Amino acid sequence: MERIEVLKTYKLYIGGTFPRTESGRYYQLMNSKKEIIANVSLGSRKDFRNAVVAARGAFGGWSARAAFNRGQILYRIAEMLEGRKEQFVNELVQQGIKKTAAEDEVKKSIDRLVYYSGWCDKFITLFGGVNPVASSHFNFSVPEAMGVVAIVAPENSGLLGIISVIAPCIAGGNTCIILASEKLPLCAVTFAEVLATSDVPGGVVNILTGTSKELHSHFSNHMDVNAVVFCRDDKAERKAVAENGALNVKRIYFWDKDWNKDESENPYLIMDLQEIKTTWHPIENIGVGGAKY
């Protein structure tokens, strides 16, 4: 007798756990032959709000991790992904991507994580520094994580897209809530399983599935979100996101990139989600010639 396959339930990823959407709603994902390949959760405003609570809770710990430690954890994500390459290739193929393109996308995704892993303990040196003020003070500026970032992931890149936006965000010490691609959501949910086994603390990355149409306004008007990264091209949604951002002076970014290209990975994406903090302290000025930095 032929073995019956165990089908996967695609759930959300919030606070390190895999809940179903509280709304109980779903949408059906079809392949090119119009066969149903999954019932995908239609994440709701309440799911998003729960995810913000999880992300805010995780922020203090994650941003205070040693940069070196964050680098190791990002590298660990790459390791876990490498071990599950086939699964991601199959999922991409299931969603209509050609096999060679799918293989290429998975490889690039792994390499991108390694790339940002390396940045974790380097961008601060590159973009921070000591400022030679004229008065007798030691003065230095360093990039510091912005806080909780709400991300609407690229629509046309199911795995590479989501990794390309999550990686610079968490490499810099932020936590995030990310809405997966609506038509290519499967890899996002499976990627959550990778995160859950990669020493990434629960709540650092929270993944929702659903529609930007329903969720973009909630992503942008939540008062405990510090920044929004919006990677879709719907003009009306973009304008609404930018307008809502003004409610609590959110930092709003529209990242339109071809995520396949090498130049779409760079430390300026990390820096978009950093604040610059400047600290002053007096220098004692006793002795011949005083002292200066």
- Interface with another protein (CB under 8 A): 64, 126, 129, 131-135, 137, 139, 141, 144, 146-147, 226, 235, 238-240, 242-243, 245-249, 251, 266, 268, 275-282
Nearest-approach distance from CB 181 to another protein, in angstroms: 24
The distance of closest approach from Cβ of residue 248 to another protein in the complex, given in angstroms and rounded to an integer, is 6
Shortest Å, Cβ 156 to another protein: 22
194 in Cβ contact with 80 (< 8 Å): yes
The single residue listed with the structure tokens 């959550």 is 192
- Minimum gap (Å) between residue 216 Cβ and another protein: 13
- C-beta of residue 195 within 8 angstroms of C-beta of residue 77: yes
Q: Which is nearer to another protein, 87 or 264 (CB)?
A: 264
* Nearer to another protein among residue 213 and residue 239 (C-beta): 239
Backbone angles phi, psi at 129, to 5 degrees: 165, 180
Tokens of 104: 């290429």
Dist CA 52 CA 28 (whole Å): 26
CA dist 69 and 121 (Å) reads 9
Shortest CB 231 distance to another protein, Å: 17
The nearest distance, CB 166 to another protein, in angstroms, is 22
Q: What is the dihedral sign for C-alpha 14, 17, 22, 25?
A: positive
The Cβ of residue 277 has, within 10 Å, a number of other Cβ atoms equal to 11
Torsion of CA 179, 182, 187, 190, to 10 degrees: 60
Cβ closest to another protein, residue 103 vs residue 234:
234
Would you say 147 or 210 has its CB closer to another protein? Answer: 147
Among all chains, which residue has been given the structure tokens 């959501």?
185
**Cα–Cα dist 240/120, whole Å:** 33
| Token pair belonging to 93 | 């193929």
**C-beta closer to another protein: residue 34 or 281:** 281
The residue (of 11 and 251) whose beta carbon lies closer to another protein is: 251
